[in-house]
Amino acid sequence: MDLDLHQGDRLVEKTLADSCSVSRTPIRSALRLLEKEGMARKAAEGGFVLECEPEKGHSILNQHAVGAGVDLAGAILRDRGARRLDGAINVTDLIRRYSVSRSAAQRALEALLAQGVIQKAEGQSWVFTRMPGDRSGRIESYEFRLILEPQAILSDGFKLDTKRADLVRSQTEALLAQSENSFNSQDFQDADLAFHKLIARSSGNQYLASVLMAHHGLRHLPGGSFGMIDFRMRQALDEHLRILDFIEQDHFDLAADQMRLHLRLSMHQRPSVANRGAPALVQATRGSIR
Amino acid sequence: MNRKEAPVIAFFPEASFGAALNCVGIAQELRAMGAHPVFLTHGGFGGVFADYGFDEFAVPVQSELTEEETQTYWQEFLSHHLPHFNMHPTDQLTTYVEPVWNAIVETAESVEQGLETALERINPDVVVLDNVIMFPAIVRSECPWVRVISCAETELPDNCLPPYLSGLPASDAAGCAAFRDQYLETLGPIHARYNKFRQDKGLELLPEGEFLETSPHQNLLLAPSIIRHDRDQVLDSGQFTFLEGCVRQEGPYRVPQMPRNNGPLVYVSFGSLGAMDVSFFESLFDVFKTLDMRFLINVGAQIDAYSRVPDNVHLQEWFPQPSVVEQCDLFIHHGGNNSFCEALYFGVPSLILPYCWDGHDNAQRAVETSVGLRLNRWDWTTEQLENAINQLLGDAEMKSRLAANSEVMQLRKSVQLAAQKILDCVNPNRI
């Protein structure tokens, strides 16, 4: 969900339900779960107040989603990311695999359609679109971001959300303070998304902001687990801080250049296949080889 | 840079992940000891070492392939060679080993000029060569050089060892003799071509079948004592150093929850080349889905080719392998020496299904030394695979022996030993 939430904000059922394209029932369950986990508290005037950073609350919900039956769409995405599902799905498949009602399966498909991760195919089928986390979509995703993210920084009216920037900075510095080879790639991915969403949100151009936020939303979905080396993760986090430094000093050109460099370094792929005496292949060979 | 304070160590691993990551482990230690390790890289490997924080120098080749040509090369390589991976080692001599050696010699010829230029520019204190062939520019640079044998120990021949790439037991004298003869006959023309190249560059000729001399300075063999062979000619301990392990430092790995999340954890990796064989992996899934175990499988660049993956199987295109092996109960692999030694280092039994090169030798050695089992790619059955997995997971005696051996291997701190042996080659008076 891409609501501009902060710690201490009120969590309004209807707004959340609209944002997630679901009914209020799963939102209510999610709020109760967050309360149980200490991530939200009941407000005196009714409803709930967020007691943690939104990314942390999202992570807790993800962990509990399947068991609690809250997030069938999330379970489908996770299974798609793990290549447990075919490229095309239908309601009958979902009912069988997840033991859910027809209406629940249909709601999940509608939510996935709203997120832009499936498209209606012929008959009763739905097909998954290529995701930024898919190996075949990764380079294209970086190329897309190389065009837009520096422009977001250079856009008229770019205004860094300082409260959120402070949180991103402290989250990044906390990770960097950990000893070498100690932090998990998932922690890095969370910090990475928080930083890039901050840049998108801060853009002065609403269309740039919305298209980048939508893309980062897709990046946030399960499926991409290509693994990064500790050194490169630290280097990337340092690059985030450097970009923030430039922005805070009003050196927007330098920040945009640094963003380009950062994305170019991050899009590097290790060889797909190598063998002694042969030129290593960097791009994936198209299709399966049987 | 002050050379006395930070000797420059130039690594030149062959273009395979095993050698590359073996060198990363040693280079990490050298960096920690204050040296300045750098990597000379073959095409396509640029960035691999930079991701670990090392400087890289790309070695240009005479005729660089475009991305499209490389793609075509691999399409043809795989469609031609995948069937050969299901052959007996003897049958692979003409179908696979010969063309690969031919390609290796061609590589040596094509990088010679570029390597000479790169070495002149870097002016290293020591060159570390982890390869199966000598590049004359290294000898001609007059810089001390260290040979790393990160393949199976059979790469360094001896009368008591079975022939390299044969997968035979040393006790099969007739089989070994026949394989050796066929190997020499098959590679004869390639060897003659390589010797001519050496001669042209002013290097001494090598005996038949040999493409790389031992270093007069230092030779590091990744051959843990639990699988080491007795040799007819004992190696000089001043010039040859056996390593118990060469494990690089990687970040932690969190084992993901799977829909079926019970039972022992099995890690499966057949290297980047083995990962191209999608149908082979799919045939493994048919067995894995029937077992109450969890499987982590390295499927490399082909990850998008899979669907309907069983609920007890998790695929990734890359794993921080040392962190994964440390947590698993069984490692199923192709017998690559790095994978095999990492399994031993963490006390994990190996089930080896070799498909080429020294994987055959390691599979045979795993059985001989009771640290694992072997299945042949050309005739394995689903029942055999299931039985082998269950046997290895249920073998308490093997598990206990491997755990004790793991403790010894880790105590030996071989990465530090390797790094120190390399630093010992630095000439303090060199300018």
Q: Considering only CB atoms, which chain A residues are within 8 Å of B275? A: 273
In order, the DSSP letters of B358-416 are THHHHHHHHHHTTSEEE--TTT--HHHHHHHHHHHHH-HHHHHHHHHHHHHHHHH-HHH
> Which sequence spans correspond to the domains of chain A?
1-68, 71-129, 135-266
What was the pLDDT predicted at A115? 83
Judge: A289–B278 Cβ closer than 8 Å, yes or no. yes
Q: Are residues B343 and B418 in the same domain?
A: no
Specify the residue for token string 């209510």.
A28
Read off the pLDDT of each residue in A45-52 and give the average, rounded to a whole number: 84
Judge: B305–A87 Cβ closer than 8 Å, yes or no. no
Q: Considering only CB atoms, which chain B residues are within 8 Å of A85? A: 307-308
Judge: A290–B279 Cβ closer than 8 Å, yes or no. yes
Taking the alpha carbons at both ends of chain A, their separation in whole angstroms is: 40
What was the pLDDT predicted at B349? 98
What was the pLDDT predicted at B405? 97
Specify the residue for token string 């379970």.
A75
Judge: A181–B67 Cβ closer than 8 Å, yes or no. no
- Rounded distance between C-alpha atoms, residue B403 and residue B328, angstroms: 13
Distances (CA, A) of B131 to A147, A228, B360: 41, 26, 18
What was the pLDDT predicted at A83? 92
Identity (one letter) of the amino acid at B28? Q
> Is A107 within 8 Å of A143 (Cβ atoms)?
no
What was the pLDDT predicted at B228? 97
Q: What is the CATH number of the domain that holds B13?
A: 3.40.50.2000
What was the pLDDT predicted at A68? 42
Digit-by-digit pLDDT tens for chain B (431 residues) are 445 579 999 999 998 999 999 999 999 999 999 999 999 998 788 889 999 999 999 998 877 788 888 888 888 998 899 999 999 999 999 999 999 999 999 999 999 999 999 999 999 999 999 999 999 999 999 999 999 999 999 999 999 999 999 999 999 999 999 999 999 999 999 999 999 999 999 999 999 999 999 999 999 999 999 999 999 999 999 999 999 998 998 888 989 999 999 999 999 999 999 999 999 999 999 999 999 999 999 999 899 899 999 999 999 999 999 999 999 999 999 999 999 999 999 999 999 999 999 999 999 999 999 999 999 998 999 999 999 999 999 999 999 999 999 999 999 999 999 999 999 999 887 76
Read off the pLDDT of each residue in A176-181 and give the average, rounded to a whole number: 92
Q: Are residues B307 and B375 in the same domain?
A: yes
Q: Find the residue in A nearest to B19 (Cα).
A: A276
CA neighbor of B320 nearest in space, from A257, A232, A160: A232
What was the pLDDT predicted at A21? 47
> Quick one: tokens of A41?
């508290």
Indicate the SS3 state at residue A58: helix
What was the pLDDT predicted at A27? 77
Let me know if B333 is exposed, middle or buried by CB neighbors in 10 A (0-12, 13-18, 19+): buried
Apex CA B429: angle with CA B423 and CA B431, to 5°?
100
- Rounded distance between C-alpha atoms, residue B49 and residue B408, angstroms: 29
* Per-residue pLDDT at A286 exceeds 50: no
Distances (CA, A) of B12 to A68, B21, B49, B148: 53, 12, 11, 10
Distances (CA, A) of A210 to A200, A217, A274, B376: 8, 10, 40, 55
**Half-sphere CA count of B163, side-chain side, radius 13 A:** 19
Is position B2 within any domain? no
Judge: A274–B306 Cβ closer than 8 Å, yes or no. no
Let me know if B254 is exposed, middle or buried by CB neighbors in 10 A (0-12, 13-18, 19+): exposed
Is position B129 within any domain? yes
**Residue B105 CA, distance from chain mean position:** 18
Q: Are residues B237 and B89 in the same domain?
A: yes
What was the pLDDT predicted at A281? 82
In order, the DSSP letters of B73-96 are HHHHHHHHHGGGGGS-HHHHIIII
Q: Find the residue in A nearest to B44 (Cα).
A: A280
Q: In 10 A of CB A119, how many CB atoms? A: 12
Backbone torsions φ then ψ of B430, nearest 5 degrees: -70, 140
Is position B228 within any domain? yes
What was the pLDDT predicted at A18? 58
Judge: A227–B78 Cβ closer than 8 Å, yes or no. no
- Mutate which: B302, B313, B334, vs A, most A CBs within 10 A: B302
Q: Are residues B229 and B355 in the same domain?
A: no
Distance from the Cα of B174 to chain A's closest Cα (Å) equals: 30
pLDDT band at residue A224 using 50, 70 and 90 as cut-offs: low
> Is B350 within 8 Å of B366 (Cβ atoms)?
yes
Options 1.10.540.10, 1.10.3210.10, 1.10.600.10, 1.10.10.10; CATH for A1-68 is: 1.10.10.10
The DSSP element (H or E) to which A113 belongs, if any, is helix A102-115
pLDDT per residue over A63-118, tens digit each?
A: 555 444 448 998 998 899 899 999 999 999 999 999 999 999 999 999 899 888 89
Is position B254 within any domain? no
B280 CB within 8 Å of a chain A CB: no
Apex CA B370: angle with CA B365 and CA B374, to 5°?
60
CA neighbor of B335 nearest in space, from B161, B156, B166: B166
Judge: B251–A229 Cβ closer than 8 Å, yes or no. yes
> Quick one: tokens of B374?
């072997």
Judge: B252–A184 Cβ closer than 8 Å, yes or no. yes
Q: Are residues B225 and B353 in the same domain?
A: no
Q: Are residues B203 and B297 in the same domain?
A: no
Distance from the Cα of B272 to chain A's closest Cα (Å) equals: 5
Judge: B275–A232 Cβ closer than 8 Å, yes or no. no
Q: Are residues B378 and B304 in the same domain?
A: yes
Q: Are residues B20 and B96 in the same domain?
A: yes
Give residues with Cβ within 8 angstroms of B302, minimum separation 6: A284, A285, A288, A289, B275, B276, B278
Backbone torsions φ then ψ of B47, nearest 5 degrees: 100, -25
What was the pLDDT predicted at B2? 46
- Mutate which: A270, A283, A286, vs B, most B CBs within 10 A: A270
Is position B190 within any domain? yes
Distance from the Cα of A166 to chain B's closest Cα (Å) equals: 27
What was the pLDDT predicted at B324? 96
Q: Are residues B194 and B295 in the same domain?
A: no
- Mutate which: B62, B164, B318, B356, vs A, most A CBs within 10 A: B318
Q: In 10 A of CB B404, how many CB atoms? A: 12
> Quick one: tokens of A44?
């005196």
Report how many domains make up chain B: 2
The DSSP element (H or E) to which A40 belongs, if any, is strand A40-42
Apex CA A177: angle with CA A175 and CA A178, to 5°?
70
Q: In 10 A of CB A136, how many CB atoms? A: 15
Judge: B306–A281 Cβ closer than 8 Å, yes or no. no
Indicate the SS3 state at residue B127: strand
Judge: B43–A280 Cβ closer than 8 Å, yes or no. yes
Options 3.40.50.2000, 1.10.10.10, 3.30.56.10, 3.20.20.480; CATH for A71-129 is: 1.10.10.10
The DSSP element (H or E) to which A177 belongs, if any, is helix A162-177
Distances (CA, A) of B394 to A211, B256, B391: 54, 24, 5
Judge: A281–B71 Cβ closer than 8 Å, yes or no. yes
> Is A182 within 8 Å of B254 (Cβ atoms)?
no
B71 CB within 8 Å of a chain A CB: yes
Q: Find the residue in A nearest to B28 (Cα).
A: A231
Question: If you ran DSSP here, which 8-state letter would residue A216 be given?
Answer: H
In order, the DSSP letters of B176-241 are HHHHHHHHHHHHHHHHHHHHHHHHHTTPPP--TT---PPPSSEEEEE--GGGPPP-SSPPPTTTEE
Identity (one letter) of the amino acid at B289? K
Distance from the Cα of B77 to chain A's closest Cα (Å) equals: 9
Read off the pLDDT of each residue in A3-30 and give the average, rounded to a whole number: 71
Is position B1 within any domain? no
- Rounded distance between C-alpha atoms, residue B231 and residue B211, angstroms: 21
Q: Are residues B233 and B344 in the same domain?
A: no
> Is A144 within 8 Å of A214 (Cβ atoms)?
no
Read off the pLDDT of each residue in A179-205 and give the average, rounded to a whole number: 92
Specify the residue for token string 């919900």.
A61
In this complex, which of A85, A183, A271 lies closest to B307 when CB atoms are compared? Answer: A85
Identity (one letter) of the amino acid at A4? D
Is position B100 within any domain? yes
Is position B235 within any domain? yes
Distance from the Cα of B398 to chain A's closest Cα (Å) equals: 31
Q: Which domain does B289 fall in, by range? A: 265-411
Q: Are A1-68 and A71-129 in the same CATH fold?
A: yes
Q: Are residues B142 and B282 in the same domain?
A: no
What was the pLDDT predicted at A159? 96
- Rounded distance between C-alpha atoms, residue B116 and residue B141, angstroms: 7
Judge: B79–A289 Cβ closer than 8 Å, yes or no. yes
- Please give the mean pLDDT across all residues of chain A: 85
> Is A197 within 8 Å of A216 (Cβ atoms)?
yes
pLDDT band at residue A126 using 50, 70 and 90 as cut-offs: very high
- Phi-psi domain of B105 (left: phi exceeds 0; alpha: psi -120 through 50; beta: other): alpha
**Half-sphere CA count of B41, side-chain side, radius 13 A:** 24
Q: Are residues B194 and B279 in the same domain?
A: no
> Is B275 within 8 Å of B300 (Cβ atoms)?
yes
Fold of A135-266: Four Helix Bundle (Hemerythrin (Met), subunit A) (1.20.120)
Distances (CA, A) of A267 to A204, A231, A279: 26, 15, 20
